[in-house]
Structure 1
Amino acid sequence: MSTTADRVPESWPSRDDFTDVQAALDAAISQLRSQQRPEGWWKGALDTNVTMDAEDLMMRAFLDILTPEATEPTARWIRSQQRDDGSWAVYPGGPGDLSTSAEAWVALRLAGDGPQQAHMAKAAEFIRGEGGVENSRVFTRIWFSLCGLWAWNDCPDLPPELIFFPSWAPLNIYDWGCWARGTIVPLMIVCTMKPVRPVPFDIDELRSMRPRKLDRPWTIAGMFERLDKLLHWYSRHPLGPLRRAAMKQAIEWILARQEADGAWGGIQPPTVYSLLALYLMGYPMDHPAVRSGFAGLDGFLIHEDTADGPTRRLEGCQSPVWDTALGLAALLEAGVAPDDPAVLRAADWLLDKQITRPGDWHVRRPELPAGAWAFEFANDNYPDTDDTAEVILGLRRVKHPDAARVAAAVDVAVQWTAGMQSGDGGWGAFDADNTSRLVTKLPFCDFGAVTDPPSADVTAHVVEMLATEGTYVERCQRGVRWLLDHQEPDGSWYGRWGVNYIYGTGAVIPALIAAGVDADAEPIRAAATWLEQHQNDDGGWGEDARSYVDRAWIGRGASTPSQTAWALLSLLAVGKETEAVRRGIAWLVSSQRSDGGWDEHYFTGTGFPVDMYINYEMYKLVFPMWALGRYLRART
């Protein structure tokens, strides 16, 4: 697929002259060094879409704490993201999204934009054309119900008595992925109390009068939709003592999982809904848990000055541990000494962030010792195997003055990560055997992934780590078998946490080779061929997020620095310097900025396939560094 008019000469770089490559790498190293914080960590911004900003305004309106200081810059940001057709998308270049657009429209009404204004009328026209608010997702309708714009009876019921289901019972809260679990529990309270604080406008402009389609009654999803009517009846006639006990238990569960920074789960949705739940259960705004929660939420804010005025937006989450692990790896791959001060600062910060107490993962793996890493500054309840594997790989290569400390931390982390293997041989990110399909059929679960089954990218990172460690050989080989069993017919692998098949394939090939799979084996050759066949005419690689829903986009998209680097890391792992590799390196060098960084306008990270994508600011720097470093090392 061609993305530029100028094709990079196929003979560049020459086999004997790598001056330009080394210069590009040196400039990238300087750029990465300049971004490291004095404490040793890196963190880039994580951009998502305007849904969180719209919901922040609706929450503050509901709590009667909405101020011009929050409203005006947030509305300015939301307006800036509107597309020409009046819609808002979940990623740049993607199609307009009904629910995101409906929430943005209501947020702008809260900011004072009138329905007759051109941008609002165009948005309403798009929303009606997509089926209207009647066909928006459940979370959108819940927010509108809170604001008196929708009927609570038309939202699925979520009985708090689920909190009492034991961990072995179907539909217990641990059947949900941790991000969904942290959202579902406070929503049990919100949806049970069904509060309303009306706003001074309606949403008649957003109604299409087209009813929402129900699933067929003989399907599991259809059965749950009909069962929801019974739950609504029970909600009006609950067993009083049982319901009160359930509400109390849910609040205790929420409070027990508030993190040191005040947030919940390290992400925005559980934090917002937990604050609503506490408020509805009588916790005043000056209660320490509520104050701390808002302080945590404010930590997600990004303020910027633009030509149109200041803007305010929320990150969906923050990734300092992930960014620091990747930054550490990038420095080491670039040839920076393993006892370089920047390397040691990163290592010390990571060692201090190791989590040594049990979290929700302990429900399924009670025998494992704690000793892992999470994604965020503070998320002790939910460390993940992906971060932990990358941290281990980095720390093992550091020449630390306290080698015993590093060894002790890494050893327990390896044990934890290996023990989080699911029964089928793969690894999920946060939980083991989190594979229930029943919860995905609930009417409540119409947005994003709600479970955490094993994925190729996470499994690959763990397999690569275990292979490098040389321990837990049997678990590592089971992981290898899982990866081979999940290879796509075309030779690629699906990417759960990055876009998409380039990310999955970019993770799996190095892992399989590290685990001893021959580079000439058929699975490796097929994957390498797939990558070469999907190289763009300009020498880079790119994949559009539409590949999650439209197979025509698999492996296709404008070249990006991160996706080009993922492809290169895979081909370099195969060990052959091909024309595709040379052209990919040429694209990275030629597209580098003068300050040593790269531009990346497309989202290459995945939060929830189809529903939420992420632009990791650090990806466009660390992964190209990683690829350039490996290329030069392979040639010396």
Structure 2
Amino acid sequence: HRIPWKPFRRLALEEAERWMMERISDGSDGLATVYPAMLNALIALHALGYPKSHPALAKAQKDFEGLFVNDPEDFRIQPCLSPVWDTAINIIALAESGLPAEHPSLQKAAAWLSNKEVRFRGDWAKNNPHPDASGWAFEYNNVYYPDTDDTAMVLMALRLVHPKDKKSYEDLFQRALAWQLSFQCRDGGWAAFDKDVIDGWLENMPFADHNAILDPTCSDLTARTIELFGYINFDRGDASVENAIQYLIATQEDDGSWYGRWGVNYIYGTWQVLRGLRAIGQDMTQDWILRGRDWLESCQNDDGGWGETCATYEDPSAKGKGESTSSQTSWAIMGICACGDLNRSSIQRALRYLLSTQQGDGSWNEPQITGTGFPGVFYLKYDMYRQNFPLLALATYVNYRHGLGHPPSFFRCG
């Protein structure tokens, strides 16, 4: 029914316009720096009558075109860019595989990451009163939306690189660690962008972008955070750690696996939980932990690898099933290695799979998609996953075999 009297419509439109204009300005490479929001912002600017010559519209258009890939074989639009995430994982894989902490490539990458720290209190500050802004975003520039997943991964990378300025390094680490801790939700877990936006009733709203009103806590994010804690000598008896472990116990599936919100899918979630539990010093022979290992082994393919498809987000019966991929095989190797007993046949078969599928130039081929954007809506193909995760898995195995564990951190709590 059309209601002719709309006293607040103009105010609402003006406020929405102001909000959008702030978030497409300098400091962000487009609205939320992700395809759907950026496209909708362009549509909104046109609908509001902004001329093509207007700086805001010109910037929004340029930012959107930055997602275009136009190669000789096809044209496609990327959903987003992932330089911070990719750089952090590459640092970890290279450092774990033996590249010295003083190596110029690691130094250069770490300096770049340090300069990408977000010192702006973005939208997260609405629910989180933490006063000191920090954290890292996924993309080149996205000051309104740093996230806990990138922040944990970046800190795990920076801990491995010899700092040139010890004081600045420790200040950055302390600031970012406090920021990360401030995001723990009331259920003990961590979500990606916000704090305590976990109430299910919000999903009943009549409008929702990709049904993503919530920012749910995730087993993979929570486990990555305690993995970081374990490497930097964080107090294992702290309530934040105990609550996180209870969260992981509560979110384990009946078959022993864990759901992977940001990677496909249960293989990703289960690997990350097992790796995090080992890092934080849990007894890896506990029954509930070994159930995770056993689930991974139960879905190993005949060729020695692991695979899983995006269909699992809508059909859980498909979990753990799919053509073997280098990234998912690597995750499974690291998950099983985290539980000890490196002589298990599942590990040895998986290592043979990786070695036999490696190409002459040292790379692996992986056409499958193993990254998650919005479950059931769109997924991400990280082209570096087929390289950095096999390298990290092989390094993990070799280091564990030699009793080396993980390289020591240049930052240590206390």
What is the aligned counterpart of 2:280 among 492, 505, 515? 515
Other-structure match for 1:424: 187
Other-structure match for 1:233: 2
| 2:87 is aligned with 1:324 | yes
Aligned positions of 1:410-489 closer than 5 A? 410-445=173-208, 447-471=210-234, 473-489=238-254
Superposition deviation, residue 584 in structure 1: 0.7
Other-structure match for 2:409: none
Other-structure match for 1:277: 44
Change over 3 Å in CA distance of 1:245–1:587 after alignment to 2: same
Q: Does the 8 Å CA contact 1:259/1:265 hold for their aligned counterparts?
A: no
| 2:123 is aligned with 1:357 | no
Distance between the aligned counterparts of 1:437 and 1:238, measured in 2?
33
Distance between the aligned counterparts of 1:247 and 1:336, measured in 2?
54
Secondary structure class of the residue paired with 2:373: strand
What is the aligned counterpart of 2:300 among 535, 549, 555? 535
Secondary structure class of the residue paired with 2:60: helix
Q: Does the 8 Å CA contact 2:337/2:347 hold for their aligned counterparts?
A: yes
Other-structure match for 1:294: 61
Which runs of no fewer than 5 residues in structure 2 stay unpaired? 403-414
Distance between the aligned counterparts of 1:474 and 1:433, measured in 2?
17
Q: Comparing both chains, which one has the higher relative contact order based on Cα–Cα distances under 8 Å and sequence gaps of 6 or more? A: 1
Secondary structure class of the residue paired with 2:367: coil
Superposition deviation, residue 595 in structure 1: 1.1
Aligned positions of 1:65-214 closer than 5 A? none
Distance between the aligned counterparts of 2:5 and 2:246, measured in 1?
49
Other-structure match for 1:587: 353
Instruction: Flag the structure with larger Rg.
Output: 1
Q: Does the 8 Å CA contact 1:321/1:376 hold for their aligned counterparts?
A: yes
4+ aligned runs moved over 6 Å, structure 1: none
Superposition deviation, residue 593 in structure 1: 1.1
Distance between the aligned counterparts of 1:446 and 1:294, measured in 2?
21
Q: Does the 8 Å CA contact 2:29/2:140 hold for their aligned counterparts?
A: no
Superposition deviation, residue 591 in structure 1: 0.5
Residue-by-residue CA offset, 1:402-435 (whole Å, 9 max, x unaligned): 2222221111110000100111110000101111
Change over 3 Å in CA distance of 1:418–1:590 after alignment to 2: same
| 2:31 is aligned with 1:264 | yes
Q: Does the 8 Å CA contact 2:130/2:179 hold for their aligned counterparts?
A: no
| 2:382 is aligned with 1:619 | no
Other-structure match for 1:211: none
Q: TM-score, normalised by structure 1?
A: 0.61
Secondary structure class of the residue paired with 2:70: strand
Distance between the aligned counterparts of 1:593 and 1:450, measured in 2?
43
Q: Does the 8 Å CA contact 1:467/1:515 hold for their aligned counterparts?
A: yes
Other-structure match for 2:157: 394
Distance between the aligned counterparts of 2:65 and 2:5, measured in 1?
37
Q: Does the 8 Å CA contact 1:456/1:494 hold for their aligned counterparts?
A: yes
2:247 partner amino acid: W
Percent identity between matched residues is: 39
Other-structure match for 1:549: 314
Residue-by-residue CA offset, 1:495-534 (whole Å, 9 max, x unaligned): 1111110000010001112222101011111111111111
Aligned-residue RMSD, C-alpha: 1.4
Secondary structure class of the residue paired with 1:606: strand
1:239 partner amino acid: K
Q: Does the 8 Å CA contact 2:25/2:56 hold for their aligned counterparts?
A: no
Residue-by-residue CA offset, 1:270-310 (whole Å, 9 max, x unaligned): 1111122222222211111110111101111101102xxxx
Distance between the aligned counterparts of 1:278 and 1:446, measured in 2?
18
Q: Does the 8 Å CA contact 1:499/1:606 hold for their aligned counterparts?
A: yes
1:294 partner amino acid: Q
Other-structure match for 1:166: none
Which runs of no fewer than 5 residues in structure 1 stay unpaired? 1-231
| 2:331 is aligned with 1:562 | no
Q: Does the 8 Å CA contact 1:467/1:476 hold for their aligned counterparts?
A: no
Deviates more, 1:591-600 or 1:439-448: 439-448
Aligned residues: 398
Superposition deviation, residue 326 in structure 1: 0.5
Other-structure match for 1:57: none
Residue-by-residue CA offset, 1:203-253 (whole Å, 9 max, x unaligned): xxxxxxxxxxxxxxxxxxxxxxxxxxxxx534xx2424x211111111111
Superposition deviation, residue 450 in structure 1: 3.2
Secondary structure class of the residue paired with 2:338: helix
Superposition deviation, residue 312 in structure 1: 2.1
1:568 partner amino acid: I
Distance between the aligned counterparts of 1:447 and 1:399, measured in 2?
42
Secondary structure class of the residue paired with 1:409: helix
Residue-by-residue CA offset, 1:128-179 (whole Å, 9 max, x unaligned): xxxxxxxxxxxxxxxxxxxxxxxxxxxxxxxxxxxxxxxxxxxxxxxxxxxx
1:606 partner amino acid: T
Secondary structure class of the residue paired with 1:607: strand
2:383 partner amino acid: E
Distance between the aligned counterparts of 2:209 and 2:88, measured in 1?
33
Other-structure match for 1:630: 396
Q: Does the 8 Å CA contact 1:448/1:610 hold for their aligned counterparts?
A: no
Distance between the aligned counterparts of 1:300 and 1:253, measured in 2?
23
Q: Does the 8 Å CA contact 1:602/1:615 hold for their aligned counterparts?
A: yes
2:20 partner amino acid: I
Secondary structure class of the residue paired with 1:613: strand
Distance between the aligned counterparts of 2:131 and 2:351, measured in 1?
43
Other-structure match for 2:412: none
Q: Does the 8 Å CA contact 2:263/2:269 hold for their aligned counterparts?
A: yes
Distance between the aligned counterparts of 1:327 and 1:413, measured in 2?
20
What is the aligned counterpart of 1:493 among 248, 258, 262? 258
| 2:71 is aligned with 1:304 | yes
Superposition deviation, residue 626 in structure 1: 0.2
| 2:336 is aligned with 1:571 | yes
